[in-house]
Amino acid sequence: MPSVGIEGPVVSRGLDGDGAVEAPPFGNANEIGWYRGGARPGAAGVAVFVGHMDTRAKPAVFYRLGDVRPGEEVTVTRADGRTAVFTVERVETVAKDDFDAQRVYGQHKRGRAEIRLLTCGGAYEPEERSYTGNLVVSGYLTRTGTG
């Protein structure tokens, strides 16, 4: 996302013990995790990407994800070297207590190629060392091309 300076290597991720998409380790906070159980970027369905907003010492790959606005583009370079370009449709913070996986991860329009980018959001709770919610950026495929 050149508009906000977000760029990083993408690594394949599964689910953690709680059933959430496993984020990259904090030691690799510049990496973006792609949920391999979902759609591939540009294919029908929802391609899910997760990344850290920060670490104890510094900002991480999705630190500026909250600066993304509807209408901006997200470009994903796929394993085959082609690009999938998505247009941001919605940016929202979802409280962890109200997190509805089907609403967050589900398709907004049936058969459409979509993307979700997730990181921590809401207020930081120092005693818990966590945030109260998740920032979710949703978009839809607008074009594909070569690297």
Tens-digit pLDDT profile for residues 56-90: 889 999 999 999 999 999 999 998 999 999 999 99
Instruction: Write out the DSSP string of 65-113.
Output: GGG--TT-EEEEE-TTSEEEEEEEEEEEEEEGGG--HHHHHS-SSTT-E
The conformation of residue 57, written as its DSSP 8-state character, comes to S
List the chain domain ranges: 10-146
- What pLDDT, on a 0 to 100 scale, did the predictor assign at position 57? 86
Q: How many residues does the chain have?
A: 147
- What number is the average pLDDT over the span 4-29? 90
Give me the pLDDT at residue 41, please: 95
pLDDT at 147: 64
* Percent of the chain whose pLDDT exceeds 90: 66
Mapping DSSP to helix (H, G, I), strand (E, B) and coil, where does residue 26 land?
A: helix
Provide the CATH topology of domain 10-146: Sortase; Chain: A; (2.40.260)
- How far is C-alpha 70 from the geometric centre of its chain's CA atoms? 15
pLDDT digits 0-9 by tens, 97-106: 888 888 888 8
pLDDT tens figures, 18-56: 888 899 998 999 999 999 999 999 999 999 999 999 988
Taking alpha carbons only, the member of 110, 108, 117, 113 closest to residue 136 is 117
